[in-house]
Structure 1
């Protein structure tokens, strides 16, 4: 049975979701969830919520889906221990290091890979499975064909978002809010810069990053037939009434296996939309996906919300089937048992029946009383009784017996399962790096290479895979000078793109290339299958020492420390494998399936990067990525050439200069500045987040 998973951003939203038919809810507690702006739950509120849900047969998943620093790891694990002990059914996680810690500390509690893990291909799902995760939340950008392929071949469950907000950027790969506003989406504090106005060369009246909400209400049967285990509704930041309305409609369509009615479609739009809904990603058609929250009938929406609130506040959806069996025998206390289909049971007894002065008790009379489960979470599915003749008991006694049975059954259902809670092993010290850091130059295009750059003899040159495969001669002077070439894979690769990428990798392997840079878990096996050794890029979000340990065990030769860390945190990392840091360049803010360049130029013109301006005058550069995707780069260049001593103290294997929009001449000048051969310094610079 496909599960319907609803958001619960507050205790009231728990009731709203459960009373409208949710099979499971997801919520956050503490500071390690991706919606820290939601009300979230105290320990007492969480305990009440879990009890409420367990009694009613609704699962509870706890979001621990942010990146976690080394000094926060114990606290995050403590939250997981609490959730496990109180009966949560699973944890939703992003951080690779936290996954490892939780597998050790709460080994019996299922872990689900958050959409923040950026899983968008089958190999990514299988990588999550190898780490011990039981379910993968797939990227919102996937089409039904991609979802069907992944789900049919995956060794673990898949979960798909069916309703709610769409981010412009692939989840887990958005650094825009963090770098321009100091509010990290990967840390649960996204300021939603994609909902702001930007100019693409015209007036400041466009919203080129704001997508309409997703709505797959008429695709439920198709997803169910595809084998998707869970359908997820987004919206922990929205009101409980919204949760009630959307959950109720999706629950009816799912459980009744029917298409939505026109009224249900209109109700969904009235509850919340951004100029309508979109199914663009699902259908593989990215046209007409943009929209903003425009004018709407507030009175109509409030009437809808008032009606929804009244329904879930006053009613009790009878969700759980219960069986009753009652025995009433002469000279013995009346006895009864109640049990559900999951093995929970309660037994109760009452007074000894008296001899009847008139008509005695009958089986029908007793079963009629037991049927009265209104106002409780239960509905009677079987009701039997055995009654000796000529006996009498007041109806009040039989009703009290039923109430005690229901109360006892609820207590049994509310009990948390017994699970292990094991100690978390301390971090082992990592060996100190030997020698000075390597210099790494990365270019976005081979046109940025020059003889002048080659003469600087970098230790490593990172270059785009597909360009290298077509024009390897461009880097031969670097190879002859002793520079090691590393092919950079696109961060996002669909299953249909794996073939071309594998062909490029094997071609380069025959030409002598030995290493490739991967930015996603799903690419590691591909690189190794092609005979190359993988290195880890920033897209893997290595935010703590345990993450580095995981990446080492995945077979990576090196990893890139997250540029969302402070420099002091980078220094404190236990570097279980060679660790590099990006120390120059326009840091990538977003990678998207959408084409800002086409929107800007009015046609496909990917050879020419576009520019996008915000209200403060910052100009963000937009460049083509493999597969007609776009990458948006920061307006200001990261510059740390004057921090050489502090960088040297961080114990890094490599320092990377990231060249994006620079000309070949500029690349050489920047590199000289970092090597102490010139006094280059950008006119406008940023220290990124390293000194925040």
Structure 2
């Protein structure tokens, strides 16, 4: 039966050791740079090198997180040396988000496996196929996928599939979140998410609050736990079960690994059918396991992720955003400062218990002595505490469980089985041969065990009592301070041998040290000369005929020449920078068409009616506009199939190209539909460095939208000649499979014109747009981006075009905004936008 990897989080050396001792197959861990958990106890260089050896000697693998977006100077100045040392030491794989980082690593370290991070928002095998020739051997699926989608991926790719099975869930699709970035400058794409999804909000519609005051953590999902779904997940074809939790304690890593190790091993032993029968007949087994996992960490209980649910309130922890603990009893009586608790679970000495009234904490205390289930625990409480009969009591710290896990998996390392043969003959050097198996998948071609022979002192003849085999065995079996224990040890003696105990111990120590070093050294490698190993051919995903057609597309001049009566009422002829507008409803189109300075129109396919699309395109063409179709933010299998099936409804011949937001759309257009029309990237297809630029150019894409997380100085360093720059629009902060409306009121199918309002504790109001066609929510920034007052700085960047995105604006508002931007950017006049407060986004401040 197929082996499945348990991949454990290691936010520290302690977590790594505990997870490995508990039975994981691999760990993922961050160094001091470029990891998506910048605030974890990430490892220094020397410690990380030792960690690689520690894992390899024990037959485990270590993956390094390089899963953030890198700015040009970071990639240029330090990435090579950062990776080189770990690569040479035997690093098993890197986890990567940035396609520039991916391209760079593959060029310089071509035999280093690359795992495409969940931050790449891969929802289908087709998306991962785009990355395959750049060293990607594994795709980490988006957490939002269901089992049917996972099975389809398994059927359509040879890549390894890694999927999350336990731990925290993001509210937003990973890699698509700007909320922390825009609110406080801490970007999730840089490993510094401030977790705004765990803050309080209120929801209103048409001025009326619709969310409950008791359920104010609107964006806070429960943690996922799929322990009861192990059989389904194993049957789906997942290769690696990934556990989230690099910010948690080492006991957490150990406890979660222990639970999944036990269940996966049971599945492998019994097979799918008998495994399911076992749990049907023994429900208490999973119940007890789940209780231990809840004690380690849970938010209002667990959900099972999205494997069997598309979304819903039952997946959310809207009462409390942090550890909820385990319900262990309720208040039976309360007299003065003394409360009696009737226990429904055993509690232990040093457990922390918390009284809750209507879900709110009123008082907590540390248990002095353990008390059994069904008994009464009596405690004194703080005077004035609002504790009432019937209040629930939760355990937020299970001291006995933490101590057990620490003792089992941290205090003592699990030993590696070794084998030995000792030989001693009078008059000859004694010798000790030791060997152990290398079981890591990283050395799949290594079949022979690692063997070391060490020689010691000349064996003397005993004058009185010769040493016995048992006596020698006792000394050689003392392996406490090594990673090994002997599974089998043979001893050959010739003559009446005498061996000084100190020399025998020295021989044992030296042999086992050499064995450990040899096992670690088996993974070492050298960097070849790959400095000129450029990717000099386009992806095979794009056939030669399509590439020939792409090569003949005329590059459109983005600097327009206008001779007309312009928007400020004068007639003149002058060169000006080209403008792009994105429209999301048909009423926004008329003022765009009436503005000759707008050269390019993006029509949002996710928002506009397919039936009206040909007419909208025709109207644009009649006014001389260049037209691109903007594809959906997320393209999962049902959407992909629908677009493929109904291609005649949206692949209008007269359009000039497409703007894509994900890799699935790239594969759909180039490989499935073989379009020769131009493909452009939206700003969530991140290009923060020249290597990312080259990656897309390898695929025939030469027009990008500048990242909304780069500031002016960073854009100068990157260079903007191939970039359009967004200068106006409400920025989408989150794209989520969850639905704010459904979770606070009810599911209301149909694209709703009036957005819901999400209000935070600072009274900032974020509009939430519901897209029922594709069943996702988009949360927009409270302030509209406007670089109207930054004309000189923007033009000094010399971008290809300037882009204005319209979302909630009506026809008149679109006309007003266009009029002002045309005055300022096309004719050098002064201008201003009336009304609300605007934001410059990251154009000035940048991100951490």
Q: What TM-score, normalized by structure 2, do the two folds share?
A: 0.76
Matched, 1:335 2:431: yes
Corresponding residue of 2:730: 586
Superposed displacement of residue 351, structure 1 = 3.4
SS at match of 1:134: strand
Given the alignment, which residue of 768, 774, 781 partners 1:622?
768
Matched, 1:110 2:113: yes
Structure 1 distance, partners of 2:630, 2:556, is 27
- Which runs of structure 2 are paired with 1:257-268 in the superposition (5 Å)? 257=267, 261-268=286-293
Corresponding residue of 1:525: 667
Corresponding residue of 1:497: 639
Superposed displacement of residue 610, structure 1 = 1.3
Q: Structure 1 residues 676 and 159 mapped into 2: Cα distance closer, same or farther (>3 Å)?
A: same
Q: Structure 1 residues 295 and 8 mapped into 2: Cα distance closer, same or farther (>3 Å)?
A: closer
Superposed displacement of residue 368, structure 1 = 6.9
Structure 2 distance, partners of 1:158, 1:365, is 52
Q: Structure 1 residues 344 and 30 mapped into 2: Cα distance closer, same or farther (>3 Å)?
A: same
Given the alignment, which residue of 197, 214, 218 partners 1:194?
197
Corresponding residue of 2:229: 219
Q: Structure 1 residues 316 and 69 mapped into 2: Cα distance closer, same or farther (>3 Å)?
A: same
Given the alignment, which residue of 710, 725, 738 partners 1:565?
710
Structure 1 distance, partners of 2:493, 2:638, is 68
Superposed displacement of residue 71, structure 1 = 1.0
Do 1:29 and 1:62's aligned partners in 2 also have CA atoms closer than 8 Å? yes
Give CA-to-partner distance per residue, 1:297-349, whole Å, 9 cap, x none: 6624344223322333421212x332323333453222232122233221112
Superposed displacement of residue 481, structure 1 = 0.6
Given the alignment, which residue of 296, 300, 303 partners 1:275?
300
Superposed displacement of residue 539, structure 1 = 1.7
SS at match of 1:487: strand
Give CA-to-partner distance per residue, 1:3-53, whole Å, 9 cap, x none: 211111122222222222222111112231111111212223223322322
Structure 2 distance, partners of 1:422, 1:468, is 54
Corresponding residue of 1:33: 35
Do 2:112 and 2:135's aligned partners in 1 also have CA atoms closer than 8 Å? no
Q: Structure 1 residues 68 and 659 mapped into 2: Cα distance closer, same or farther (>3 Å)?
A: same
Corresponding residue of 1:247: 257
Structure 2 distance, partners of 1:642, 1:400, is 76
Do 1:433 and 1:651's aligned partners in 2 also have CA atoms closer than 8 Å? no
Superposed displacement of residue 480, structure 1 = 0.7
Moved more, 434-443 or 530-539: 434-443
SS at match of 2:629: strand
Moved more, 121-130 or 273-282: 121-130
Superposed displacement of residue 159, structure 1 = 0.9
Do 1:561 and 1:579's aligned partners in 2 also have CA atoms closer than 8 Å? yes
Do 2:17 and 2:413's aligned partners in 1 also have CA atoms closer than 8 Å? no
Do 1:581 and 1:654's aligned partners in 2 also have CA atoms closer than 8 Å? yes
Superposed displacement of residue 424, structure 1 = 5.7
Q: Structure 1 residues 405 and 334 mapped into 2: Cα distance closer, same or farther (>3 Å)?
A: same
Given the alignment, which residue of 559, 571, 596 partners 2:740?
596
Matched, 1:83 2:93: no
Structure 1 distance, partners of 2:323, 2:507, is 56
Structure 2 distance, partners of 1:119, 1:579, is 24
Do 1:128 and 1:136's aligned partners in 2 also have CA atoms closer than 8 Å? no
Corresponding residue of 1:456: 595
- Which runs of structure 2 are paired with 1:499-518 in the superposition (5 Å)? 499-518=641-660
SS at match of 1:283: coil
Superposed displacement of residue 146, structure 1 = 1.2
Do 2:310 and 2:737's aligned partners in 1 also have CA atoms closer than 8 Å? no
SS at match of 2:110: coil
Given the alignment, which residue of 309, 317, 333 partners 2:414?
317
SS at match of 2:218: coil
Corresponding residue of 1:484: 626
Root-mean-square deviation (CA), in Å? 2.8
Structure 2 distance, partners of 1:7, 1:495, is 29
Do 2:610 and 2:649's aligned partners in 1 also have CA atoms closer than 8 Å? yes
Do 1:353 and 1:393's aligned partners in 2 also have CA atoms closer than 8 Å? yes
Structure 2 distance, partners of 1:412, 1:624, is 59
Matched, 1:96 2:99: yes
Corresponding residue of 1:647: 794
Matched, 1:417 2:513: no
More strand by share: 2
SS at match of 2:419: strand
Do 2:298 and 2:325's aligned partners in 1 also have CA atoms closer than 8 Å? no
Q: Structure 1 residues 446 and 376 mapped into 2: Cα distance closer, same or farther (>3 Å)?
A: farther
Do 1:194 and 1:210's aligned partners in 2 also have CA atoms closer than 8 Å? yes
Structure 2 distance, partners of 1:419, 1:627, is 48
Q: What TM-score, normalized by structure 1, do the two folds share?
A: 0.92
Larger Rg: 2
Do 2:107 and 2:533's aligned partners in 1 also have CA atoms closer than 8 Å? no
SS at match of 1:509: coil
Given the alignment, which residue of 119, 124, 128 partners 2:127?
124
Structure 2 distance, partners of 1:470, 1:601, is 31
Given the alignment, which residue of 396, 405, 419 partners 1:308?
405
Gapped regions of structure 2 (runs ≥ 5): 268-274, 280-284, 327-350, 353-396, 439-448, 535-554, 560-575, 825-830
Superposed displacement of residue 269, structure 1 = 0.3
Structure 1 distance, partners of 2:322, 2:820, is 47
Structure 1 distance, partners of 2:316, 2:811, is 36
SS at match of 1:676: helix
Matched, 1:290 2:316: yes
Superposed displacement of residue 443, structure 1 = 1.5
Give CA-to-partner distance per residue, 1:192-233, whole Å, 9 cap, x none: 000011111236551111000011123334333433222111
- Which runs of structure 2 are paired with 1:528-539 in the superposition (5 Å)? 528=670, 529-530=672-673, 531=675, 532-539=677-684
Do 1:204 and 1:615's aligned partners in 2 also have CA atoms closer than 8 Å? no
Task: Report how many residues are paired.
Answer: 687
Q: Structure 1 residues 312 and 437 mapped into 2: Cα distance closer, same or farther (>3 Å)?
A: same
